Chain A
Amino acid sequence: MSAAPLISAFRQALSEAWANGAGAFLPASFFAGAAILVPFTMGSEMEVLSRIGPGVLWLSLALASFVTLERIFQADLQDGALDLWAQEATPISLIALTKTLAHWLISGLPLVLLTPVLGLMLAVPTEKTLPAMTAYGLGGLTFFLWGGVAAALSASIARGGLLIALLALPFYFPTLIFGALALQGGLTTTPGLLLIASTLFALGVAPLAMGAALRLATD
């Protein structure tokens, strides 16, 4: 096993995102757009917004992960990169994990960096910005891991976008629940620790499932 396929998968994921022209801006603008629609539909009273604001950000984060995940493995399947990775001595689950982390770095982290700005627009209280961003980051990573499993399972399906959302949805629930509760209490309370636990669980299990699903896609 060598680290070369991991590095190349990482670099390929980064360059692919920028090569398409939009890079980090597309998911970020989708995320912002989804969150900005809320004041128009829910009313713009400050007290309503500040109460639902954190929840709106969680929801937008989950939606943004669905939208960006469709192509994560599909492109590799079409251009044959997946077949080459399947022949490497490096476990394909590690390559899948690397790709997911790179993907999170490109289209997940910018969303997290955007949350304070959107939070300000949605009148979310600002005193706990940093713990909240950590929670969004952990939650987003968990979304991308489970969403990556769903994307890997439906990599060989032509229009798998809706299917990814349906498959990943059940696995998003715990993270969404603990994440929303952790924002109220902080990361060291029970919901915060459970959020971290759900991220760690996803880090352990999701790569194996992604590897099995990708081997299926290359057959």
Chain B
Amino acid sequence: MWSILANPHRFMRFSKPAIPALALIGVVLFAYSLWQGLFVVPTDELQGGHIFRALFIHVPSAWLCMGLYVGLAVASFVWFIWRHELADVAARAIAPVGMAYTALCLATGSVWGKPTWGTWWLWDDPRMMSVLVLFFLFIGYMALRTAMETRQKAARAGAILAMIGLINIPIIRVSVDIWSSIHQGPSVIRAEGPAMDWIYLQPLLIGFLGQGLIIAAIIMILMRAEVFGQQADALMARRLAGK
């Protein structure tokens, strides 16, 4: 299905109406989950009272920042093997969004950790360390791309870095299972099924979907801007060549 969109013209035709639609549905779903999470859902005294409501931002942002890195690596792989230009445009658009979401995940986690664990940050915690590494991977990826002379070289170097950095994703996932961590184990995506009550799970999943759609819209906006920029460059080059 995605190979259809690999054609830039088809992508531009598809994304123009898709962006407002995705953004609108995403905002509605996200607003619903925030309203449920912040006002409707009962407090959970075991999780430290009202602060547990950070869950509805923290958990989706954690899933999404890992998902965005996987997306970056997959786009890099597709570009590296098949040289689909649009895959590189996508990788370039994903990086800043992924970095922002990793920062959001770390920030909301700290805010949640202070009242419940008594600390903003723990240096010897594997989950926190591996997410911090993810943050540096995104920064390094963007710095490397900026430093390269041509877009082609930036794409190739970035793709190599993004692909070897993928090793960090399974480390984040299993970090709480194999090393002792203050972070709780997984309570939604487990072999035995979710451990969370449906009343919490439902707004969480809806919020995740909503934020995912908003992110998709943002990434497509960035991709369109990049495609327009390249078209403008080509136009300028033709103008300068006097044709």
Interface residues of A (CB under 8 A from B): 149, 153-154, 156-157, 160, 163, 166-167, 169-171, 173-174, 177, 201, 205-206, 209, 212-213, 216, 219
Please tell me if B161 contacts chain A, counting CB pairs below 8 Å. Answer: yes
Whether the pair A216, B140 counts as a contact (CB closer than 8 A) is: no
Query: Given A170, A209, A216, which contacts B168 in the complex, CB threshold below 8 Å?
Result: A170
Whether the pair B153, A149 counts as a contact (CB closer than 8 A) is: no
Given contacts A166-B136, A167-B144, contact A153 B157 (CB under 8 A): yes
User: Min CB distance, A207 to chain B, in Å?
Assistant: 11
The 7 closest A-B pairs by CB, nearest first: A170-B133, A170-B136, A167-B140, A216-B156, A157-B147, A170-B137, A153-B157
Query: Given A156, A170, A209, which contacts B140 in the complex, CB threshold below 8 Å?
Result: A170
Once the chains are docked, how many angstroms separate the CA of A209 from the CA of B171? Answer: 20
User: Min CB distance, A26 to chain B, in Å?
Assistant: 25
With a cutoff of 8 Å between Cβ atoms, the chain A residues found around residue B161 in the complex are: 153, 167
Given contacts A156-B153, A216-B157, contact A169 B129 (CB under 8 A): no
User: Min CB distance, B232 to chain A, in Å?
Assistant: 26
Query: Given B136, B139, B147, B168, which contacts A154 in the complex, CB threshold below 8 Å?
Result: B147
Please tell me if B148 contacts chain A, counting CB pairs below 8 Å. Answer: yes
Contact with A along B162-174 (1 / 0, CB 8 A): 0111011001000
With a cutoff of 8 Å between Cβ atoms, the chain B residues found around residue A216 in the complex are: 153, 156-157, 160
Once the chains are docked, how many angstroms separate the CA of A156 from the CA of B144? Answer: 11
Query: Given B147, B164, B171, which contacts A163 in the complex, CB threshold below 8 Å?
Result: B147
Once the chains are docked, how many angstroms separate the CA of A153 from the CA of B140? Answer: 11
Once the chains are docked, how many angstroms separate the CA of A173 from the CA of B165? Answer: 12
Whether the pair A156, B164 counts as a contact (CB closer than 8 A) is: no
Whether the pair B153, A219 counts as a contact (CB closer than 8 A) is: yes
Whether the pair B160, A160 counts as a contact (CB closer than 8 A) is: no
Residue of B nearest to A212 (CB): B160
Query: Given B133, B148, B160, B167, which contacts A157 in the complex, CB threshold below 8 Å?
Result: B148
User: Min CB distance, B178 to chain A, in Å?
Assistant: 9
Whether the pair B160, A163 counts as a contact (CB closer than 8 A) is: no
With a cutoff of 8 Å between Cβ atoms, the chain B residues found around residue A201 in the complex are: 167
Whether the pair A166, B140 counts as a contact (CB closer than 8 A) is: yes
Query: Given B143, B149, B160, B168, which contacts A213 in the complex, CB threshold below 8 Å?
Result: B160
Whether the pair B129, A173 counts as a contact (CB closer than 8 A) is: yes
Task: Assign chain B's interface to a size class.
Answer: 20 to 34
User: Min CB distance, A135 to chain B, in Å?
Assistant: 18
Whether the pair A205, B147 counts as a contact (CB closer than 8 A) is: no
Contact with A along B101-122 (1 / 0, CB 8 A): 0000000000000000000000
Main secondary structure of the interface of B (DSSP, over half): helix
Once the chains are docked, how many angstroms separate the CA of A157 from the CA of B133? Answer: 24
With a cutoff of 8 Å between Cβ atoms, the chain A residues found around residue B134 in the complex are: 170
Contact with A along B31-69 (1 / 0, CB 8 A): 000000000000000000000000000000000000000
With a cutoff of 8 Å between Cβ atoms, the chain A residues found around residue B140 in the complex are: 166-167, 169-170
A-B contact sample (15 more), CB < 8 A, given A156-B149, A213-B157, A216-B156:
A153-B144, A166-B139, A166-B143, A167-B140, A170-B134, A170-B136, A170-B137, A170-B165, A173-B129, A174-B171, A206-B164, A209-B163, A212-B156, A212-B160, A216-B157
Once the chains are docked, how many angstroms separate the CA of A46 from the CA of B133? Answer: 33
Could you list 30 examples of A-B contacts with CB < 8 Å?
A: A149-B160, A149-B164, A153-B144, A153-B157, A153-B161, A154-B144, A154-B147, A154-B157, A156-B153, A157-B147, A157-B148, A160-B147, A163-B143, A163-B147, A166-B136, A166-B143, A167-B143, A167-B144, A167-B161, A169-B136, A169-B140, A170-B134, A170-B140, A177-B129, A205-B164, A205-B167, A206-B164, A209-B163, A212-B156, A213-B160
B133, B143, B147, B153 — most chain A CB neighbours (10 Å): B147
User: Min CB distance, A61 to chain B, in Å?
Assistant: 19
With a cutoff of 8 Å between Cβ atoms, the chain A residues found around residue B171 in the complex are: 174
User: Min CB distance, B176 to chain A, in Å?
Assistant: 15
User: Min CB distance, A146 to chain B, in Å?
Assistant: 9
Residue of A nearest to B153 (CB): A216
Once the chains are docked, how many angstroms separate the CA of A167 from the CA of B165? Answer: 10
User: Min CB distance, B81 to chain A, in Å?
Assistant: 12
Once the chains are docked, how many angstroms separate the CA of A174 from the CA of B172? Answer: 12
